C-alpha cells in the first residue's frame, strides 16, 4: 500500500491523524477526514466535526479487547506508516 504522507517541499499536503472522539482517520484536513469516512460507507451526522490530533502525541491502538496486543506510536508515525485512510475506532 503506498504511503501518501509526503513532505510539503514535494508540493503535497501533509497527512495527519484526525478524530471525532470515536473514529480516527489519516487525512489532509477535517474535510478530507469526512471524505475518508464516506469512502468506507459511513454516513456521518453533519454536526460531527473532526479535530486534528497533535503530531507529537503518543497514541496506542489495541488489537484485541484484552489489550494484550498493543501498538504505540506518535500520531505523526501513525499517519506516515498508514497513509490516507481509516485508522481505528474507540471501543466503548
pLDDT at residue 50 in the model: 97
- Residue numbers in the chain where pLDDT is lower than 50: 1-11
**Interatomic CA distance for residues 34 and 82, integer angstroms:** 17
Give the residue from 32, 36, 37, 39 showing the smallest Cα distance to 14. Answer: 32
Q: Say which residue the cell 460531527 belongs to.
A: 48
pLDDT at residue 12 in the model: 55
pLDDT at residue 16 in the model: 98
pLDDT at residue 69 in the model: 85
pLDDT at residue 5 in the model: 47
18: in domain:
yes
3: in domain:
no
51: in domain:
yes
- What is the reported pTM? 0.82
72: in domain:
yes
pLDDT at residue 39 in the model: 96
1: in domain:
no
Which domain range does residue 84 map to?
14-89
Domain tally, the chain: 1
Would you tell me how many other CB atoms lie within 10 Å of the CB of residue 84? 20
pLDDT at residue 11 in the model: 41
Phi, psi of 55 (to 5 degrees): -55, -35
Amino acid at each position: 500500500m503506498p504511503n501518501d504522507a509526503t513532505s510539503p517541499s514535494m508540493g503535497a499536503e501533509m497527512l495527519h491523524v484526525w478524530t471525532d472522539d470515536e473514529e480516527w482517520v489519516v487525512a489532509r484536513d477535517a474535510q478530507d477526514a469526512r471524505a475518508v469516512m464516506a469512502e468506507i460507507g459511513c454516513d456521518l451526522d453533519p454536526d460531527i466535526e473532526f479535530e486534528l490530533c497533535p503530531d507529537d502525541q503518543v497514541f496506542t491502538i489495541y488489537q484485541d479487547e484484552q489489550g494484550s496486543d498493543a501498538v504505540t506510536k506518535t500520531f505523526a508515525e501513525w499517519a506516515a506508516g498508514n497513509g490516507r485512510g481509516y485508522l481505528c475506532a474507540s471501543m466503548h
